[in-house]
Amino acid sequence: MIERLAERRGLEIQSLPLWSRFPREKLLDRKGANERAYRRGFELDAYSDDERFFPSFESCVEVGVDWRSLPWTEWEFVVGVDLASTKRPGTFIVPVAVTPENRCLILEGLPRCGSWSTKQLADELDKVDHELSPVSIVVESNGVQDAIVEGFKQEQDRFSWASRVEGKNTGRADKVDREVGLPSMEVEFANHAWSILYAKRHPIDCVCATCVLVDQFKVYPHGDLTDGVMATSFARWKITTLGGQLLPDLPSIDDVKRVADEEREAFAAALKELQ
């Protein structure tokens, strides 16, 4: 209808409306592939906190902080790399900064993702090393991926970072094993041991690697792709082995939830009093 209307008025259509890009078959395909993601995307049924692995992640995103104006050259960087496989189309590189106060930072513009050959991946790691000189580059090394990790390690003459590459075998290559360590990250997010820093807010549909990574954390485990979350978890694993626990006196997640519940009850009581 909109097309006809525009035609009658002699207006040029710049982009097609969303619905003409999603015929019935395409929608059914999407629904079949991931029904919960479909309900979120097409029926506006948002995820509840109970459904998400990292409900506290969003509270760690800070907009209005240009990290390049901070003393970032004093920070240590650890890089996590989740390699593409036949099941997952993209490779994710996530540099995580660790401040002297032992806080972890994900910085606008630093994560990278793409469908790269091994040579292209090496070029990307060259750029990362040139800028950040990470103390470690942790690469997932399950099965065939191990050949890539070993290949890098043996090329110390070619790659300045080769001696700092470390393989991370997550055991059986199934999803459960890949999630080891992820629940403790929610405790860290709830306690703001992490910040994701943006100088400016990006558009809601931004597809830069930083925004893709943030979105993967927000919807985990419901998203179609999780490689950014995994790459971050590899970096975090290394950080905890380098400097001990990220926050030694961290309360348990139950304690965090209990405090939140108490606050909510107190707020409800105060509200009742006002009425």
Q: Which stretch, 35-43, 44-52, 126-134, 210-218, contacts Zn ion (CB under 5 A)?
A: 210-218
Query: Given the complex with Zn ion, which of 31 and 202 has the nearer CB atom?
Result: 202
Cβ-proximal residues to 115 (8 Å cutoff; 6+ apart), any chain: 84, 89, 90, 91
Q: Note whether 199 binds Zn ion by CB under 5 A.
A: no
Stretch that binds Zn ion, among 44-52, 56-64, 199-207, 258-266 (CB under 5 A): 199-207
Buried b / exposed e along 157-175 (16+ C-beta atoms within 10 A): eebebbebbbbbebeeeee
Of the candidate spans 3-11, 25-33, 153-161, 205-213, the one that interacts with Zn ion by CB under 5 A turns out to be: 205-213
| CB-count exposure of residue 107 (10 Å: 0-12, 13-18, 19+) | buried
Window contacting Zn ion (CB under 5 A); options: 31-39, 130-138, 149-157, 196-204: 196-204
> What is the spatial distance between Cα 170 and Cα 148, in angstroms, rounded to a whole number?
16
CA pair distance 76, 179, nearest whole angstrom:
25
Give the closest residue to 163 by CA, choosing from 171, 154, 173. 154
Of the ranges 6-14, 83-91, 209-217, 258-266, which one interacts with Zn ion (CB under 5 A)?
209-217
CA Rg value for the chain: 22
Please, which residue, 166 or 215, has the CB nearer to Zn ion? 215
Among 6, 13, 206, 269, binds Zn ion (CB under 5 A): 206
Would you call 99 exposed, middle or buried from its count of C-beta atoms within 10 A (0-12, 13-18, 19+)? middle
Least separation, in Å, of the C-beta of 112 and Zn ion?
Answer: 12
Where in 124-153 is the site for Zn ion (CB under 5 A)? none
Answer for which of 31, 36, 153, 202 binds Zn ion (CB under 5 A) is 202
Q: Is 208 in the site for Zn ion (CB under 5 A)?
A: yes
For position 211 contacting Zn ion by CB under 5 A, the verdict is yes
Should residue 61 be labelled a site residue for Zn ion when binding is judged by CB under 5 A?
no
Q: Which of 196, 197, 176, 183 is nearest to 250 (CA)?
A: 183
Closer to Zn ion by CB, 213 or 230: give it: 213
Contact residues for Zn ion, defined by CB under 5 A:
202, 206, 208, 211
